[in-house]
Amino acid sequence: GIELPIQDIMREFRDGKEIYLPLQFNNDPVSWIVWQCKRINKNTNVLLGTDITEKMALEDTYEILVENAQDLIYKVNKDGEFQFLNNRFTNYLPLDKNSYVGKKLTDIVPESHQAEVAQYFNQQMEGQEKVSYFEFPILDKEGNMTWIGQYMTLLHEIGYNTRITGWLATGR
Q: For residue 164, which of 119, 116, 107, 123 has the smallest C-alpha distance?
A: 123
Q: What is the pLDDT along the chain (172 residues), one digit of tens a residue?
A: 455 566 666 777 888 888 888 888 788 888 888 889 898 998 898 888 899 888 888 877 778 887 888 899 999 999 999 999 999 988 889 888 999 999 999 999 999 999 999 999 889 888 888 999 999 999 988 889 999 999 999 998 887 777 889 999 998 8
Residue 124: CB atoms within 10 A of its CB come to: 19
Strand 131-139: give its sheet, edge to edge: 82-85, 72-77, 164-171, 145-156, 131-139
Pairing of strands 44-51, 30-41: antiparallel
